[in-house]
Amino acid sequence: MHFLVTGGAGFIGSNFVFYMMENHPEDQITCLDALTYAGNLKTLEPVMDDPRFTFVRGDIADREQVFDLFGKNSFDVVVNFAAETHVDRSIEDPGIFLRTNIIGTQTLMDACLEHKVSRFHHVGTDEVYGDLPLDRPDQYFTENTPLKASSPYSASKASADLLAMAYHRTYGLPVTISRCSNNYGPYQFPEKLIPLMISRALADEPLPVYGTGKNVRDWLYVEDHCKAIDIVLQQGRIGEIYNIGGHNEKTNLEVVKTILRQLGKPESLIHFVEDRKGHDLRYAIDPEKIRNELGWYPETSFEDGIRKTITWYLSNRAWWEELISD
């Protein structure tokens, strides 16, 4: 099959490309990425010379380019990772989030309809559900939890999800959606919590932690996420949403302290800063639907995943040090 992977030079998209090429050697992958600040062509160097892989630089909201690309290829499946994702940046400049995450998704789906693509899979986020109270550990997000976006970023992702389901119902577009919890692992852009803390701890710089650090996130190792999407593509029901969670809930402060402990750095590096506007308290996904229907479950504990992640950043300093210097 021929896959179009959008946003494949980013963190999760590149890991998905590597996973698919290793586990599905019979398939062909075209990657479409605008190479914004979070997209890094060097990330894809391991596959750039593989004849099964093609890279195209482009913007999913550029209708002319997208339709031209579809016209020159016979894509069977489109997996849409392309998105603006950083909450702080969305608070500062919402417009680019609306353009990429909503208009870009619409453009891709219009091209899928015209060229009769057999599956459009949209990669979403648990942030569309808003947050959960810290004092109710029994509560989890399910696929039926009402959408309650808290930031321009999550609002744009919720809009894209609704649009994708509308395209399925109105036009019969074969859509599936997955909503994941916080990913971590190799090749994550160093503005995100875990790589940011690793890089600053290694430089003995202050580690900025919002508020009191008690906000809770469910952490999902990126390879587990890639496996889940692969299973949804193979076995998932058209028109369905699947929550993909790690069952690894940690406070931000726990995550930071774990990183410091593994790097042998003092907790005195922690520096509490003014809280983010509208900061969600707790994310927690119930992944029972994907487990019961498709047999997927997260295989990587947070302890194993964070150790592998730290080892990768220690072994690949040139990759992220260049990004920081830029």
Catalytic residues: 126-127, 153
Q: What single DSSP character describes residue 141?
A: B
User: Strand order in 216-221's β-sheet?
Assistant: 182-184, 216-221, 249-251
Phi, psi of 196 (to 5 degrees): -65, -45
User: At 82, is the secondary structure helix, strand, or coil?
Assistant: coil
Report the DSSP beta bridge partners of residue 31. 5, 55
Please check whether residue 301 is in contact with residue 223, taking contact to mean a CB–CB distance below 8 angstroms.
no
Which is nearest to 237 in space by CA: 111, 108, 115, 121?
A: 121
User: At 151, is the secondary structure helix, strand, or coil?
Assistant: coil
DSSP track, 136-192: -TT--B-TTSPP---SHHHHHHHHHHHHHHHHHHHH---EEEEEE-EEESTT--TTS
Task: Indicate the helix (H) or strand (E) that contains 200.
Answer: helix 193-202
Between CA 206 and CA 196 the distance in angstroms is: 11
Going by their DSSP bridges, the two strands 77-80 and 119-125 should be labelled as: parallel
How many Å is the Cα radius of gyration of the chain? Answer: 19
Contacts of 135 (CB under 8 A, 6+ apart): none
Between CA 33 and CA 42 the distance in angstroms is: 13
Query: Hey, what amino acid is at 232?
Result: V
